[in-house]
C-alpha cells in the first residue's frame, strides 16, 4: 500500500485518498495518516487555485515526495524516470558529467569527493568545497537534483562553477563536460610493493581488482612484499562489490551483516574460502571521504585482522539504500534506506566512521587552527544516529603528520603505508592484535 500510493499518478489523487479514508476504520488505527493525506490534497487544491501563477502539478508532487524522504535521512530520495536511467548508467561505470560526488548542506551543494581522472579532479576541486553558482547563476537554495541537472549538458560543452573554499575568496573554475569512464581500479608497483587504487564500487570493480592483483604480482617479479589498497576519497557504491572486494583478501568468514527494521531482518555476507593474496601483508588507506562501501571493506579487513588501516577516520555512512523501481521504472524509483550495516565484530560505524589503526595525516595540522576538512555523515541533515552510541573522535592533532617543509606533491600517507610494510610493522601489529 505504501509503495502504491507513492507511485499514484496526480490525476485521480482525490479519488485515491477518498478510498483510503473509507477503509481507515479497518486499517489498524491509521486514520490520522489518511487525514494527513486529505490535508495534503486540500493544500494542493488551494495552491492550484489560489497561487499567484499556475503551477506544474507533477513538479509540485515530486517536490513533496522529496521533502518527505529527505526528512527521513540524507540518503533516501526520489528519482524521476530520467534520473533513474542515469543512475543505472552510472553504476555501470560510464556516464556523462563532471565527475563529482555531491551532497546538500543548508541549501548549498557541497563536494563529497571528486572522482579520479575526471574534469572535476583535474581542475583541482576538493572534498569540502561548496559550489555556489553555475555559469554565473546562483544555485544556492536549489534542491540537489535541480543543481545536478544544471551541471549536466552536452558532452564537450563548457561550464563554469563558482567554488567557495574555506579560507579563500570564491573563485570560478571552467570545466568541460565529458563522458565519464570511471576506471574503478588501477594498479602500479613501487619496488616490491603493489599499490592498488579503488576509486569507486561500480559493477566492474571486483573484476578490475582481479586484473590489478595479477598486474602487481607480475610487475614485482614474484617479490611482492605487501599491498597498499588505497580507498581515500572513495565515495562507495554497490554493496555486492564491496563484498566481492573484501572476499579477495579474506579466507572465508563474515564480511558484513545488514539489519533492517524487523528483528529477524538480518542478512550476513561471507567470503569464500581462499585468500587471493595468500597472506601477503595489506595496508588499507582511508580518509574522511572514504564512505559506505569503502568503509565496509576497511571495517571487514580491520575486524578480521587481515589489514592495517592507515590514514584518518572515514566518513561514517553506515546505512544501506535499496532502489525500488516504481511502475517498473516508468514513474522513476525510490532510493530508500532499508538497513544498517555492521562490521564482522558487530560495529555500526554510522556517524562515527572507521578509525585507523595508525593515524597518519595527509598534511601538517596547525594546533592553533584546528578545523575539520570536508564533511562527515554526522554533519548531514537528519543523519541517522549510531544506535550503539559510538561517536566520532573530536578534533585533534594527529601524532604522525608530515614534517615541516614537506613537499605537498609527495604523498605522505602513501609513503608511510609503504614504510609500514617494508619495516615489518604491519605483520607485527597484526600479530599483536590477534594475540
Residues 329 and 353 sit within 8 Å (Cβ to Cβ): no
On the question of pLDDT at 400 being above 70, the answer is: yes
Confidence of residue 96 (pLDDT cuts 50, 70, 90): low
CA dihedral 9, 13, 15, 16 (to 10 degrees): 70
Q: Are residues 317 and 267 in the same domain?
A: yes
User: 350 and 410 in one domain?
Assistant: yes
Identify the CA nearest to 230 among candidates 300, 309, 337: 309
Q: In this structure, are 211 and 304 located in the same domain? A: yes
Per-residue pLDDT of 204-222, as tens digits, reads 999 999 999 999 999 999 8
Tell me what pLDDT residue 14 has.
32
pLDDT digits (tens, 9 = 90+) for 38-75: 999 999 999 999 999 999 999 899 999 999 999 999 99
Do residues 417 and 376 both lie within one domain? yes
Asked whether residue 65 is assigned to any structural domain, the reply reads no
Residue of 63, 60, 69, 57 lying closest to 323 (CA atoms): 69
* C-alpha pair distances (Å), 79 with each of 98, 145, 180, 219, 330: 20, 9, 21, 44, 11
Residue 113 has pLDDT above 70, yes or no: yes
Cα radius of gyration rounded to whole Å, the chain: 24
Pair (216, 111) in one structural domain: no
Residue 84 in any domain: the answer is: no
Angle at 394 between CA 390 and CA 395, to 5 degrees: 155
Claim to verify: residue 189 and residue 135 sit in the same structural domain: no
SS3 content of the chain, % helix, strand, coil (to 5): 35, 25, 45
Together in a domain, 194 and 314:
yes
User: Is 203 found in the same domain as 151?
Assistant: no
* CA separation for the pair 80, 85 (Å, rounded): 9
Task: Give the separation between CA 96 and CA 152, rounded to whole angstroms.
Answer: 8
398 belongs to a structural domain:
yes
Determine, yes or no, domain membership for 351.
yes
Residue scoring higher pLDDT (207 or 365): 207
- Residue 352: pLDDT over 60: yes
399 confidence band (pLDDT: 50, 70, 90): confident
- 81 falls within a domain: no
Structural element, H or E, at residue 41: helix 31-50
Q: How confident is the model at residue 434 (pLDDT cuts 50, 70, 90)?
A: confident
pLDDT tier at 372 (50, 70, 90 boundaries)?
A: low
From CA 113, how far away is CA 123, in angstroms rounded?
Answer: 13
Dmax over Cα atoms in the chain, in whole Å?
76
pLDDT in the model for residue 159: 92
Mention every residue, 6+ apart, whose C-beta is less than 8 A from residue 25.
31
Average pLDDT over residues 23-45: 76
**Degrees (nearest 5) of the Cα angle 358, 363, 365?**
90
| Same domain, yes or no: 296 and 161 | no
Domain membership of residue 19 as a residue range: 2-55
Q: Which of 127-136, 144-153, 274-283 has the lowest mean pLDDT?
A: 144-153
- Active site (annotated) includes residue 116: no
pLDDT of residue 8: 23
What integer pLDDT is reported at residue 24 of this predicted model? 43
Per-residue model confidence (pLDDT) at position 409: 80
Q: Is residue 265 part of a domain?
A: yes
Number of domains in the chain: 3
- In a domain, residue 73? The reply is no
Of 180, 210, 239, which one is at a domain's C-terminal end? Answer: 180
Which of these is catalytic: 303, 314, 348, 357? 303
Which ranges in 287-389 belong to alpha helices (H)?
293-303
Q: Is 58 a catalytic residue?
A: no
- The answer to which of 80-89, 327-336, 401-410 has the lowest mean pLDDT is 80-89
Please say if the pLDDT value at position 9 is more than 50: no
pLDDT at 422 over 90: yes
Q: Give CA–CA dist 287/140, Å, rounded.
A: 28
Query: 205 and 277: one domain?
Result: yes
- Closest to 215 in 3D by CA, of 166, 276, 129: 276
Total Cβ atoms within 10 A of residue 2: 8
Beta-bridge partners for 321:
337
Domain assignment of residue 75, yes or no = no
CATH of the domain at 125: 2.30.42.10
Q: Would residue 257 show up in a list of annotated catalytic residues for this protein?
A: no
Say if residue 108's pLDDT is above 90: no
Cβ distance 255 to 311 under 8 Å?
Answer: no
**What is the rounded distance in angstroms from the CA atom of residue 49 to the CA atom of residue 32?**
26
pLDDT over 70 at 332, yes or no: yes
Q: How far is the C-alpha of 187 from the C-alpha of 212, rounded, in Å?
A: 5
Distance (Å, whole) CA 121 – CA 130 = 15
Look over the chain and give the mean of its residue pLDDT values, rounded to a whole number: 87
State the catalytic residue, choosing from 73, 76, 113, 317: 317
Mean predicted confidence (pLDDT) in 312-329 = 94
Which of the listed residues 180, 198, 216 is the one where a domain comes to its end? 180
66 C-beta neighbours (distance < 10 Å), count: 17
Range with lowest mean pLDDT among 113-117, 131-135, 283-287, 306-310: 113-117
Whether residue 1 is predicted with pLDDT greater than 50 in this model: the reply is no
Please state the φ and ψ torsions of residue 188, each to the nearest 5 degrees.
-155, 170
Q: Is the pLDDT score of 182 beyond 80?
A: no
Query: Residue 314 — φ and ψ, nearest 5°?
Result: -75, 180
**Which entry of 77, 290, 292, 319 is annotated as an active-site residue?**
292
The predicted structure's pLDDT at residue 380? 87
- My answer on whether 142 and 248 are in the same domain is no
Mean pLDDT, range 81-110, rounded to an integer: 78
What pLDDT, on the 0 to 100 scale, is given for residue 28?
55
Confidence band for 11, pLDDT divided at 50, 70 and 90: very low
> What's the pLDDT score for residue 179?
80
pLDDT value at residue 7: 23
Residues 6+ apart with CB under 8 A from 258: 239, 266, 267, 269, 320, 339, 340, 341, 342
Burial of residue 77 (CB within 10 Å: 0-12, 13-18, 19+) is buried
Q: Note the pLDDT tens digit of each residue in 139-168.
A: 998 877 778 878 877 788 899 999 999 889
- Whether 244 and 313 map to the same domain: the answer is yes
Domain with residue 343: its CATH number is 3.90.226.10
Amino acid at each position: 500500500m505504501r509503495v502504491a500510493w507513492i507511485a499514484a499518478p496526480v490525476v485521480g489523487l482525490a479519488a485515491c485518498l477518498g478510498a483510503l479514508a473509507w477503509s481507515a476504520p479497518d486499517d489498524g488505527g491509521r486514520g490520522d495518516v489518511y487525514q494527513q493525506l486529505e490535508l495534503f490534497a486540500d493544500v494542493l487544491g488551494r495552491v492550484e487555485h489560489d497561487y499567484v501563477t499556475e503551477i506544474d502539478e507533477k513538479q509540485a508532487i515530486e517536490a513533496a515526495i522529496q521533502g518527505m524522504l529527505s526528512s527521513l535521512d540524507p540518503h533516501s530520495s526520489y528519482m524521476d524516470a530520467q534520473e533513474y536511467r542515469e543512475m543505472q548508467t552510472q553504476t555501470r561505470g560510464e556516464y556523462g558529467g563532471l565527475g563529482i560526488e555531491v551532497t546538500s548542506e543548508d541549501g548549498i551543494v557541497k563536494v563529497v569527493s571528486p572522482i579520479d581522472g575526471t574534469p572535476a579532479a583535474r581542475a583541482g576541486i576538493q572534498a569540502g568545497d561548496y559550489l555556489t553558482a553555475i555559469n554565473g547563476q546562483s544555485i544556492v537554495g536549489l534542491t540537489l537534483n535541480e543543481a545536478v541537472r544544471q551541471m549536466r549538458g552536452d558532452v564537450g560543452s563548457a561550464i563554469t562553477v563558482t567554488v567557495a573554499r574555506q579560507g579563500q575568496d570564491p573563485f570560478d573554475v571552467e570545466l568541460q563536460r565529458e563522458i565519464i569512464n570511471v576506471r574503478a581500479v588501477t594498479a602500479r608497483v613501487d619496488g616490491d610493493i603493489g599499490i592498488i587504487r579503488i576509486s569507486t564500487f561500480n559493477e566492474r570493480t571486483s573484476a578490475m581488482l582481479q586484473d590489478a592483483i595479477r598486474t602487481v604480482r607480475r610487475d614485482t617479479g614474484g617479490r611482492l612484499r605487501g599491498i597498499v589498497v588505497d580507498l581515500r576519497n572513495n565515495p562507495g557504491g554497490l554493496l555486492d562489490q564491496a563484498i566481492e572486494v573484501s572476499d579477495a583478501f579474506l579466507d572465508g568468514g563474515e564480511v558484513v551483516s545488514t539489519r533492517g527494521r524487523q528483528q529477524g531482518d538480518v542478512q550476513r555476507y561471507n567470503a569464500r574460502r581462499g585468500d587471493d593474496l595468500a597472506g601477503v601483508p595489506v595496508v588499507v588507506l582511508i580518509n574522511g571521504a572514504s564512505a559506505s562501501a569503502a568503509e565496509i571493506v576497511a571495517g571487514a579487513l580491520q575486524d578480521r585482522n587481515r589489514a592495517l588501516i592507515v590514514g584518518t577516520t572515514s566518513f561514517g555512512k553506515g546505512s544501506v539504500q535499496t532502489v525500488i523501481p516504481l511502475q517498473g521504472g516508468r514513474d522513476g524509483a525510490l532510493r530508500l534506506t532499508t538497513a544498517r550495516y555492521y562490521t564482522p565484530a558487530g560495529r555500526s560505524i554510522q556517524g562515527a566512521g572507521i578509525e585507523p589503526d595508525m593515524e597518519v595525516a595527509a598534511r601538517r595540522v596547525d594546533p592553533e587552527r584546528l578545523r575539520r576538512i570536508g564533511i562527515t555523515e554526522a554533519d548531514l541533515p537528519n543523519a541517522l544516529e549510531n544506535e550503539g552510541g559510538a561517536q566520532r573522535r573530536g578534533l585533534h592533532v594527529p601524532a604522525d603528520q608530515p614534517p615541516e617543509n614537506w613537499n605537498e606533491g609527495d604523498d605522505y600517507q602513501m609513503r608511510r603505508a609503504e614504510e609500514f610494510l617494508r619495516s615489518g610493522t604491519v605483520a607485527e601489529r597484526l600479530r599483536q592484535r590477534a594475540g
